[in-house]
């Protein structure tokens, strides 16, 4: 049984977005967290590469719960303590799915990513600016952001961000996906992100 993700529904995973780069597979776990019903799959094909769920958890801050995140990494990758980003770089494909728990505008999301990246220099600043400058859309609680990354044949990395209502953001450059993943799996920007990071890598160590 397979399901295609739909970015406009409250459920974490659903079945109707034909443009998605991700096909979730198997039978999902069903959870209700803070009033939202979530369906969480253990495996997914990302850019036709088999991936497995590395972990999931809530991103919280002093403002409250921001989003629930599920992480998928290339099934061939094993993360080692102290070498997590190296493992992320080795993954041919990866995906993050964020179910929003509060309304956020584009600049707020963009600035949150950049704040985390500034704790993880060096990174591809030019490529990241070109990617995140496209993030001009507001996201409402209950909506879903799907972020995918992969290695390309020319040695660069591609990032695709799928947003509600069929909006898509794309970027390509050296280490671009690996660098974006540092937001969650690099040096944590705060204690709450550090807690989430442990949950995101717990299944693949």
Tokens 């799915």 locate to: 97
Q: Over the stretch 78-127, which tens digit does the pLDDT of each residue have?
A: 888 889 999 999 999 999 999 999 999 999 999 999 999 999 999 999 99
Instruction: List all residues 6 or more positions away from 19 whose beta carbon is below 8 Å from its beta carbon.
Output: 162, 166, 168
Q: Which H/E stretch holds residue 40?
A: strand 36-40
The whole-number pLDDT of residue 203 equals 62
CA-nearest of 150, 133, 145 to 68 is 145
The Cα–Cα gap between 153 and 34 comes to 42
Q: What is the mean pLDDT of the chain?
A: 89
CA-nearest of 47, 67, 92, 45 to 192 is 67
Q: Over the stretch 144-194, which tens digit does the pLDDT of each residue have?
A: 999 999 999 999 999 999 999 999 999 999 999 999 999 999 999 999 999
Provide the 3-class DSSP secondary structure of residue 176: helix
With beta carbons less than 8 A apart as the criterion, state whether 44 and 72 touch. yes
Structure tokens at 170: 């794309």
Structure tokens at 9: 């529904």
Please spell the DSSP secondary structure of 153-198, one letter per residue: TTS-EEEEEE-GGG-EEEEEETTHHHHHHHHHHSS-SSHHHHHHHH
Instruction: List all residues 6 or more positions away from 122 whose beta carbon is below 8 Å from its beta carbon.
Output: none
């Amino acid at each position: 049984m397979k399901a295609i993700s739909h970015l406009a529904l409250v459920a974490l995973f659903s079945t109707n977005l034909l443009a998605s780069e991700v096909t979730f597979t198997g039978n999902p776990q069903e959870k209700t967290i803070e009033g939202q019903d979530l369906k969480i799959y253990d495996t997914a094909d990302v850019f036709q590469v088999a991936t497995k769920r590395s972990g999931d958890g809530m991103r919280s801050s002093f403002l409250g719960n921001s989003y629930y995140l599920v992480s998928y990494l290339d099934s061939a990758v094993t993360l080692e303590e102290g070498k997590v980003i190296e493992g992320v770089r080795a993954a041919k494909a990866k995906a993050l799915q964020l179910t929003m728990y509060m309304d956020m505008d584009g600049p707020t999301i963009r600035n949150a990513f950049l704040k985390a990246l500034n704790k993880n220099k060096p990174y591809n600043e030019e490529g990241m600016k070109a990617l995140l400058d496209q993030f001009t859309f507001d996201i409402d609680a209950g909506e879903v952001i799907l972020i995918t990354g992969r290695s390309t044949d020319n040695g660069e990395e591609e990032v695709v961000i799928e947003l509600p209502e069929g909006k898509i953001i794309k970027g390509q450059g050296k280490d671009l996906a690996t660098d974006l993943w540092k937001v969650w799996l690099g040096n944590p920007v705060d204690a709450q992100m550090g807690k989430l990071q442990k949950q995101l890598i717990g299944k693949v160590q």
